[in-house]
Amino acid sequence: MNRIAIYPGSFDPPTRGHEDLIRRALTMVDRLIVAVAINPSKEPLFTVEQRLAMLAEVTDHDPRIEYASFHGLLADFARERDATIVVRGLRAVSDFEYEFQMAMMNRKLHGSLETVFLVPAVDLTYLSSSLVRTAARFGGNLDGLVHPSVAAALATRYGR
Ligand code: COA
């Protein structure tokens, strides 16, 4: 059985939390599509191409991973790619309501798409891309929070 899962997100930028989740997901599926969602209402720090390149770098260009981007509905993208699983992380109770609604909506839109929630490493549960961006903008220490290549990209982006 060829189990294909999608791990969707903004990944602006990818953090050690995302890497941790990708590693955990790879223990359960044959192929993982790490998919950058193109959201016209968000103004990202990094372009889609930069985020895809960073994701490939931080995961060592793992051959089990496909790095993709998508417009529109996740349910449609999953159908297009024959993916049957959506992987999402639950960092804290505060993530639950939003994630639960999204999982229900995705099930309504695509009846055989299952959402699987993974729990990240405990020391990464507070992490988010916007916290990383804020810390980077003001020269904060990002050791342990992002891959060195992401830290370098943030430093360049903020002119440090
Ligand atoms: N470690 C660290 N940070 C994490 C994390 C983890 N394991 N999991 C989530 N986060 C952070 C992200 O960095 C991001 O941080 P920020 O808001 O501070 O930048 C935040 O949590 C939101 O996570 P993200 O995974 O990027 O989700 P999102 O809310 O931006 O996007 C999509 C979620 C892309 C999956 C969803 O919007 C989507 O599917 N869009 C397509 C349209 C659609 O089909 N919608 C659903 C049905 S209508």
pLDDT digits (tens, 9 = 90+) for 84-139: 999 999 998 889 999 999 999 999 999 999 999 999 999 999 999 999 999 999 99
Strand ranges across the sheet with 31-37: 65-70, 31-37, 4-9, 85-89, 114-118
Q: For residues 78-101, b (16+ Cβ closer than 10 Å) or e, as one string? A: beebebbbbbbbbbeeeeeeebee
* Model confidence at 40: pLDDT above 90: no
Dump pLDDT digits (tens) for 44-61. Answer: 999 999 999 999 999 999
**Catalytic residue list contains 42:** yes
Closest CA to ligand 1's atom 4: 128
Residue 85 φ then ψ, to 5°: -130, 135
Task: State residue 159's pLDDT score.
Answer: 92
| pTM for the structure as a whole | 0.95
Cα(36) to ligand 1 centroid in Å equals: 9
CATH number of 4-125: 3.40.50.620
The ligand 1 atom nearest the CA atom of 128: 3
Task: State residue 42's pLDDT score.
Answer: 86
Q: Check 88, 91, 110, 147 and give the catalytic one.
A: 91
Q: Residue range 1-30: average pLDDT?
A: 96
Cα(139) to ligand 1 centroid in Å equals: 25
Between CA 64 and CA 30 the distance in angstroms is: 7
Between CA 15 and CA 58 the distance in angstroms is: 9
Above pLDDT 90, what percent of the chain? Answer: 94
Query: Which stretches of 2-140 are assigned E, i.e. beta strand?
Result: 4-9, 31-37, 65-70, 85-89, 114-118
Query: Which stretches of 19-136 are assigned E, i.e. beta strand?
Result: 31-37, 65-70, 85-89, 114-118
pLDDT band, very low/low/confident/very high, at 1 (cuts 50, 70, 90): confident
Closest CA to ligand 1's atom 32: 9
Between CA 137 and CA 156 the distance in angstroms is: 10
